[in-house]
Each structure stands twice: as C-alpha cells, then as structure tokens.
Copies of this chain bind each other. A is one copy, B any other.
Amino acid sequence: MKKISRRTIPRTLLYLRTLESLIKEGRYTVSSGELARITGLTDVQIRKDISNFGRVGTPRIGYKTRELKNILKDYVLPENIIRMVLFGAGSLGTAILKYPGFRKQRLKISAAFDKDKRKTGKTINGVKVYPVERAPEVIRKSRVDIGIIAVPSEHGQEVADLMVGSGLKGIVNFAPVSLNLPENVSARDIDLSIEFLALYCDTRM
C-alpha cells in the first residue's frame, strides 16, 4: 500500500463526490478528461492520483464509475461511522447540527456541548446539547473521533484543551484563533474571514 501524498486526499474525496453524482445521473463510465472538466483539475493529475490506488481504468473507455468509487472509498473512507462532537450550539453550531448531508458521508454528530444553560438540555435535530462539564464523560462513553469548535475565539483554547483531555485526536476549528495542541492531535482551521479575504486577493490578480 503506497503512501498517499497529503494533497491527494482531499482531491480523492472530491472525485468520490463527483462519482456519486455521476452515478446518480446513471453514468456507467467516465474518463479522466471529463472528471477534469467537472472538477477544474487537469486530466493528468486525476490519472496520477487514481494510479495511487492501482490500475483501474480501461483505455478507450475510462473508469467505471461504481468500481472507481468503491476503490477510492477503500482508501479514504472508513468502514464504520465517524463520530463527532460539537462545542458551541450558537448560530454556526446549530447550522452544522441541522445539516442532514453528513449522514450520507458516514459522518455523525453524537453530541453537542454548550456553556450557556439556555442552550443545554435541548435536542437539535436529534442531537442532545449537554452542559460543557459533561463533555469528558460523554465523549469517552461514545468513542468519538473528531471534535468541532464553534465557540467564540476567546474560549477556543479552553475547549481544545478539554477535547484533548477527553482523548479526541482530530479537531476542526471554526474560531479565528490559533490553537496550541500536542503533536498527536491533528487540526484543520477554517477561518471564513480569511477565506473571503484570500478570495478577494485572488480576484485582484
């Protein structure tokens, strides 16, 4: 099993998303050239990425959509459901809790936590909102993989510490603050302001 380079993983997930959409349209095959047109990448890059996973395409035909989907899945999706918890049932947190699209991706939010007593006790879209103190207990009990930070940035670090202390190994952080985390915890920061500003720079060049 070859080592997959860092950037190919999100691209592979994008191929998966595209394949699922093509399958839904009833397509049986697709070429690297067409995937390139759809995704905005180049055909060579796509062939190269896919070649990481074995020889799967057929000259003159391309790739069989279902077959390719299953192969890619084996490499980048787990068999079991990915369990997540959310900290901060505010406006962004609530939007995430309400989103029905995660289920299809085997992503499940097991629980939410909030500091504000007016938010706790409720159930949003089937997910219970606990007081933040109960986080370690609830997280340990339900074998959670990933934590989502959707609290104000001033509380980002304290929530991150709580997550690490509860054994989480991955954090998605929406708060515009840099987290101090141990080596063995992975994080992805999504700062929407930076996204908008960077896009604006892109448009000026």
What is A's interface to B at a CB cutoff of 8 Å? 9-10, 13-14, 17-18, 21, 38-40, 76-78, 82, 84, 91-92, 94-96, 98-99, 101-102, 105, 107, 145-146, 169-172, 176-178, 180, 186-188, 190-204
Complex interface: chain B residues within 8 A of A204 (CB):
78
Known contacts A177-B21, A195-B188, A197-B13: A170-B203 contact under CB 8 Å:
yes
- Which residue of the partner chain, among B171, B177, B193, contacts A105 with CB atoms under 8 Å? B193
Q: Nearest CB to that of A93 among chain B residues?
A: B95
Complex interface: chain B residues within 8 A of A99 (CB):
91-92, 192
Complex interface: chain B residues within 8 A of A200 (CB):
78, 82, 145-146, 170
Q: Nearest CB to that of A40 among chain B residues?
A: B178
Complex interface: chain B residues within 8 A of A172 (CB):
195-196, 199
Known contacts A92-B99, A99-B91, A202-B170: A77-B197 contact under CB 8 Å:
yes
Return A113 CB to nearest CB of chain B, in Å: 18
Q: How far is the CA of A204 from the CA of B177 in the complex (A)?
A: 25
Complex interface: chain B residues within 8 A of A92 (CB):
95, 99
Known: A9-B198, A101-B193, A170-B202. 5 other contacts (CB 8 A): A14-B191, A84-B196, A101-B176, A102-B192, A188-B199
